[in-house]
Structure 1
Amino acid sequence: MQIRIAFLFISLIILVAAITEPVTKVQLGEKLFHDPILSRDSTLSCASCHKPQFAFADTVAITPGIEGRIGRRNAPSIMNMAFRSNFFFDGRAATLRDQVHFPIEDPMEMDLEYSIAIERINNHPYYKDAFLKIYGEAPNADNIADAIASFEESLETSDTEFDAWMADKENTMTEAAIRGKDIFISDRAKCFDCHFGPDFTADEFRNIGLYDGISYKDAGRYEVTKNPADLGKFKVPGLRNVAITAPYMHDGSFKTLRDVIDYYSNPYEFVANPINIDTLLARPLNLSEQEKQDLEAFLLSLTDKRFIPKS
Structure 2
Amino acid sequence: MNRVILAVVVIAISYTSKASSKLDDHQWLIEFIEKNEIVPIRNEPKLLDAQYELGQALFFEKLLSTNKDTACSTCHLVNSHTSDSLRKAIGAGGHNLGALRIAGKDTEPLDRNTQALFNLDNNEVKNLFWDGRVEVDLQGPIKFLTPLGKHIPLGLENALAAQSLIPIISNSELKSHTCYLVGREQNYCKKLYESFESVNESIWNLAYLSFIQHRLIGHSDNKDLSSIQKKYRKLFKLAYPNKSNFTASDLANALARYQEIAFATRDTPWDKFLKGSESISDTEAEGARLFYGKYRCNNCHSNTLFSDFDFHSIGIVSHKKDKSIDKGRFEITGNLKDFLKFRTPSLRNVTLTAPYMHDGSIESLEQAIGKHFTGCALENDYYEVCIETVFKYKEIIQPNEVLKLIAFLKFLEDKSHIIDDDIVPFTVPSGLGIDDLIPASANKIK
- 2: CA distance between counterparts of 1:276 and 1:283? 15
Question: SS of 1:66's equivalent?
Answer: coil
Could you tell me which amino acid in structure 1 is paired with residue 214 of structure 2?
Answer: E
| Aligned residue in 2 for 1:8 | none
- 1:159 matches 2:267: yes
In the TM superposition, 1:1-311 aligns within 5 A as 24-67=50-93, 68=103, 69=107, 70-83=109-122, 84-94=125-135, 95-111=159-175, 113-123=208-218, 124-135=229-240, 136-154=243-261, 155-171=263-279, 173-186=280-293, 188-211=294-317, 217-268=325-376, 273=383, 275-277=385-387, 281-306=391-416
Q: TM-score scaled by structure 1?
A: 0.84
Unaligned runs of at least 5 residues, structure 2: 1-47, 94-102, 136-158, 177-207, 219-228, 420-446
- 2: CA distance between counterparts of 1:170 and 1:207? 35
CA displacement 1:106-149 (0-9 Å, x = unmatched): 11211162221111111311111221232122431111111111
| Gap change, CA 1:148 and 1:277, over 3 Å in 2 | farther
- 1: CA distance between counterparts of 2:412 and 2:304? 11
| Gap change, CA 1:274 and 1:141, over 3 Å in 2 | farther
Contact 2:87–2:355 (Cα < 8 Å) also in 1: yes
| Aligned residue in 2 for 1:3 | none
Shift of 1:158: 3.0
Greater gyration radius: 2
Question: SS of 1:265's equivalent?
Answer: coil
CA displacement 1:253-297 (0-9 Å, x = unmatched): 111111101211323468762634587834433011111111111
Larger displacement relative to structure 2 (128-137 or 96-105): 128-137
CA displacement 1:220-276 (0-9 Å, x = unmatched): 111111111111111111010111111110111111111101211323468762634
| Gap change, CA 1:216 and 1:264, over 3 Å in 2 | farther
- 2: CA distance between counterparts of 1:45 and 1:267? 37
Q: TM-score scaled by structure 2?
A: 0.60
| Gap change, CA 1:143 and 1:242, over 3 Å in 2 | same
| Gap change, CA 1:201 and 1:271, over 3 Å in 2 | farther
Contact 1:131–1:138 (Cα < 8 Å) also in 2: no
Which fold has the larger relative contact order, with Cα–Cα distance below 8 Å and residues 6 or more apart in sequence?
2
- 1: CA distance between counterparts of 2:329 and 2:353? 22
Larger displacement relative to structure 2 (41-50 or 126-135): 126-135
| Aligned residue in 1 for 2:11 | none
- 2: CA distance between counterparts of 1:274 and 1:99? 34
Once superposed, which parts of structure 1, at least 4 consecutive aligned residues long, lie more than 4 Å away? 212-216, 268-272, 276-280
Unaligned runs of at least 5 residues, structure 1: 1-21
Q: CA RMSD in A?
A: 2.5
- The percentage of aligned residue pairs carrying the same residue is 29
CA displacement 1:11-33 (0-9 Å, x = unmatched): xxxxxxxxxxx951112111100
Larger displacement relative to structure 2 (191-200 or 209-218): 209-218
Shift of 1:305: 4.4
| Gap change, CA 1:268 and 1:280, over 3 Å in 2 | closer
